[in-house]
Amino acid sequence: MGAGKTMTGREVAERLGRTFVDMDEVLAGQHGAIRELFLRHGEPWFREREEQLTGAALDSSRADVIALGGGAPGSRKTREALSRRAYTVLLDIDVDRAWERVRETDRPNAQDEATFRRLYEERQPLYREVADAVATDADGVILAAGGVHHEPGALDRLGELVPGDGPAALLADATVLGIHGERAIRALGDRLAQTIEIPAGEQAKQLDVVRRVWSELRLDRTGTVVALGGGTTTDLAGFAAATYLRGVPWVPVPTTLVGQVDAAIGGKTAIDIPEGKNLVGAFRWPARVILDETLLETLPERERRQGRAELLKTELLANATLDVRGAAAYKTALCLRDPYDHGPRQWLNLGHTFAHALEAAADFDLPHGEAVALGLLAALRLSGRDTARVEQELQPRPVAVDGERAWQALLRDKKRAGDAINIVVLTGEGPAVEGRPPEEVRRQLDRLIS
């Protein structure tokens, strides 16, 4: 009681595009006010009806977000149904704060402080038993549901945070291994079966590199690929994991801001080919994403600016100021809502259609964040929005690439809608994918080229 399940549940459901069901409201709607039910029929009668309605809700085929009553996990049948049918998050709150929230309400079990505190202590073991994860807010619920673990210092717990107990193959470039490799190797302990060094940057995302990784991997299907590094490392490692032995689990541990707010989340994996960026890939949802913000402390300033472009993109989409955790939760929600990129997940491509075209035209020698900064200029101009914030915070500069080559790469990057080109724009209703005339898109692309 008092944890905020209803308010948080409504927010989570809205962000995931799902229906919200509050079991207390369902019960009250069918039988009357909960306090009156307690007084008229007693708690055992109430718990029996609660168990029946909760079981029916959990056994339905709908992917709802359900807020349970505080006493619902006291039922063995409910606990079994949760284990069988639900991903269960304990919305945690300390007893003092919970009591302050409910002390002057008409909740039947909140009329006496001593009784309330006793119930709190009695129910904690049951809550911990049924919970797949523990959270304190909507962002935490969404991150947990998406398998994203956010914790400073998490690298030192890598061995226990990588799901399963099978062997692990660690993939990283030489620079990352030099900075974080010793800690990662120590944390993986006896689970570490091999370490594979890969190139840094976009050079990692090449067919000859993934072919070498396939050849060097010695995992069986109980093994896990652990990707330690930036977005190019996680892209390559995820694609290798998706295709090796027809798919083995993988865990990205992003060490860059780009990786932590964007690239490592959602299971999009890919390599590049000469005709364009990320044109060969697979969807492979990670077994877990491990976000340790302390790893960002060693980032060079230029790398930090790359990530700032992705963070600013997410803030523009969310129309809110976000930290790393908030940006990660925003992307996780869109990916849970649209795992295979058929709908709102496409919003995350804001500016990226232009960015990928510029990167391909530069033979992938243009840093991704700098390309995204330019792409955001084009997207905002097509949206009729002010570009001052992007210009002030990211300071993008036109790049010297072949305009026709960039245009051909753009045409391959995204599907066309008849004679129009699909572009993510910001509207008064929020982000949207709109078909724009080719000449209008080409004009904006040319403005990004010196």
Summarize pLDDT for 75-126 with one digit per residue, the tens. Answer: 999 999 999 999 999 999 999 999 999 998 888 888 899 999 999 999 999 9
Position 332 in a domain: no
Is there a single domain that holds both residue 372 and residue 438? yes
Q: pLDDT in tens for each of the 450 residues of the chain?
A: 899 999 999 999 999 999 999 999 998 898 888 888 888 888 889 889 999 999 999 998 888 999 999 999 999 999 999 999 999 999 999 999 999 999 988 888 888 999 999 999 999 999 999 999 999 999 999 999 999 999 999 999 999 999 999 999 999 999 999 999 999 999 999 999 999 999 999 999 999 999 999 999 999 999 999 999 999 999 999 999 999 999 999 999 999 999 999 999 999 999 999 888 899 999 999 999 999 999 999 999 888 988 999 999 999 999 999 999 999 999 999 999 999 999 999 999 999 999 999 999 999 899 999 999 999 999 999 999 999 999 999 999 999 999 999 999 999 875 566 679 999 999 999 999 999 999 999 999 999 999
Is there a single domain that holds both residue 169 and residue 282? yes
Question: Which tokens in the block code for residue 119?
Answer: 């119930």
Q: What is the pTM of this model?
A: 0.93
Position 282 in a domain: yes
78: domain CATH number? 3.40.50.300
Position 308 in a domain: no
Is there a single domain that holds both residue 131 and residue 11? yes
Is there a single domain that holds both residue 222 and residue 287? yes
Count other C-beta atoms under 10 Å from residue 308's C-beta: 18
d(CA 366, CA 112): 65
d(CA 355, CA 207): 21
Q: Which of 344, 369, 294 is nearest to 324 (CA)?
A: 294
Is there a single domain that holds both residue 43 and residue 88? yes
Distance from CA of residue 337 to its chain's centroid?
A: 10
| SS (HEC) of the chain | CCCCHHHHHHHHHHHHCCCEEEHHHHHHHHHCCHHHHHHHHCHHHHHHHHHHHHHHHHHCCCCCEEECCCCHHHCHHHHHHHHHHCCCEEECCCHHHHHHHHCCCCCHHHCCHHHHHHHHHHHHHHHHHHCCEEECCHHHHHHHHCCEEECCCHHHHHHHHCCCCCCEEEEEEHHHHHHHHHHHHHHHHHHEEEEEEECCHHHHCCHHHHHHHHHHCCCCCCCEEEEEECHHHHHHHHHHHHHHHHCCCEEEEECCHHHHHHHCCCCEEEEEECCEEEEEEEECCCCCEEECHHHHHHCCHHHHHHHHHHHHHHHHHHCCCCCHHHHHHHHHHHHHHCCCCCCHHHHHHCCHHHHHHHHHHCCCCCCHHHHHHHHHHHHHHHCCCCCHHHHHHHCCCCECCCHHHHHHHHHHHCCEECCEEEEEEEECCEEEEEEECHHHHHHHHHCCEC
Instruction: Report the pLDDT value the prediction gives residue 417, as an integer from 0 to 100.
Output: 64
Is there a single domain that holds both residue 359 and residue 227? no
256: domain CATH number? 3.40.50.1970
Is there a single domain that holds both residue 441 and residue 348? yes
d(CA 229, CA 226): 10
Quote the domain boundaries for residue 121.
5-142
Question: For the chain, what is the domain count?
Answer: 3
d(CA 381, CA 310): 18
Cβ neighbours of residue 299 under 8 Å, at least 6 residues apart? 255, 256, 257, 307
Instruction: Report the pLDDT value the prediction gives residue 414, as an integer from 0 to 100.
Output: 59
Question: Looking up tokens 């792409």, which residue turns up?
Answer: 375
Q: How many CA atoms lie within 13 A of 266 on its CB side?
A: 26
Position 293 in a domain: yes
Is there a single domain that holds both residue 100 and residue 202? no
Is there a single domain that holds both residue 172 and residue 126? no
* Boundary of a domain, candidates 124, 142, 160: 142
* Boundary of a domain, candidates 142, 170, 200: 142
Position 315 in a domain: no
d(CA 381, CA 91): 42
387: domain CATH number? 1.20.1090.10
Is there a single domain that holds both residue 191 and residue 266? yes
Cβ neighbours of residue 132 under 8 Å, at least 6 residues apart? 87, 88, 89, 144
d(CA 180, CA 178): 6
* Boundary of a domain, candidates 142, 162, 196: 142
Question: Is-contact 402 361, C-beta < 8 A?
Answer: yes
- Model confidence pLDDT, tens digit, residues 381-439: 999 999 999 999 999 999 999 999 999 999 987 556 667 999 999 999 999 999 999 99
Position 330 in a domain: no
Position 321 in a domain: no
d(CA 103, CA 82): 29
Is there a single domain that holds both residue 40 and residue 131? yes
Question: Is-contact 398 447, C-beta < 8 A?
Answer: yes
Is there a single domain that holds both residue 242 and residue 106? no
Position 319 in a domain: no
d(CA 68, CA 130): 12
